[in-house]
Amino acid sequence: MVSTTVLDRFADYLRVELRLSQQTVETYLRECVGAEVYAKDRSLELSLLTTADVIDYLLHRQHADAPLDHRTVAKGLSALRSFFQFCVLEGLRPDNPATTISSPRGEHRLPGVLSVEEVERLLEQIDLASPGGVRDRALFELIYSCGLRISEAVDLELYNLYLDEGLVLVRGKGDRERLVPLGEEAARWVQRYLAEARPCLVKVASERAVFVNRLGGRLSRKGMWKRFHELTRAVGIEAKVHTLRHSFATHLLEGGADLRAVQELLGHADIGTTQIYTHIDTEDLRAYHQQYHPRGGAADREDSSV
């Protein structure tokens, strides 16, 4: 088996050199351990697998008792590419056998999106009678107003808020930072939370997290998920916290925002990721075609033939 020392050094490489998040590091290591077990069962060495071996492993994963979707298999391939690249840098092998393997592609799926009315109904459902309720209103207003990932909301600290300027400094994937405008409504709720609710929740003055739990510590991802699930269940809406981010992007584009501007606001490294929000339903496409195309099919259009 690949020694623990090599995997430890690989983990350090992911954190320090590639600057990946701890969650991604753990995912990559888990994928490598799975490939290592597969290799050991076939008397192979993980660090010495060939391209054919890697393909066989991915096929094995895709057609196992619990088949994986294309995104999970692609993530496994990405992890192995990084591991073998690390092996090359360490002098453990001369090449990367995973670079010539194309990632599997599956059916493109659009993200779930709430209407503006549904977002308002959801936020208005929050009970403001307790400090936790005011916190939740500020939290979800902020996520929707700024298009934050849940991890970005968890990591926010007081020095990241520039309320006088109406800006939030967000640390996204790969530790990339971006400044995001804070809408007036979200700013109002954040200010109320900081003035009225957070002082009731915080136990020690040194706590720098913006959003804290009832014990005074940083509110966790799990805590945010739980509160949002309670809200959606009460309102009768099916959504996840991340749906607010999808809705943020979709509502901006529907309002006429530039795609590249939305890319910057979301913190996407690739504009192709942002383009998933440019969905227009079939009826809209048909209406646009009929209205603007010279042969769109308008029955009452004057016949210009001679």
Residues designated as active site: 149, 173, 242, 245, 268, 277
**Distance (Å, whole) CA 161 – CA 187:** 10
Give me the phi and psi of 120, to 5 degrees please: -65, -40
Give me the phi and psi of 167, to 5 degrees please: -135, 155
Tokens linked to 245: 């981010």
DSSP secondary structure, 246-282, as one string: HHHHHHHHHTT--HHHHHHHHT-SSHHHHGGG----H
**Distance (Å, whole) CA 247 – CA 118:** 10
Residue 247 contacts residue 113 (beta carbons within 8 Å) = yes
**Distance (Å, whole) CA 190 – CA 105:** 41
**Distance (Å, whole) CA 218 – CA 154:** 7
177-181, strands of its sheet edge to edge: 161-162, 167-171, 177-181
In sequence order, what are the residues at sequence separation of 6 or more whose Cβ sits closer than 8 angstroms to the Cβ of residue 248?
143, 144, 145, 146, 147, 265, 266
Give me the phi and psi of 34, to 5 degrees please: -60, -40
**Rg for the chain, CA atoms, rounded:** 24
| Among 306, 9, 288, CA closest to 297 | 288
Give the three-state DSSP class for 209.
Answer: strand
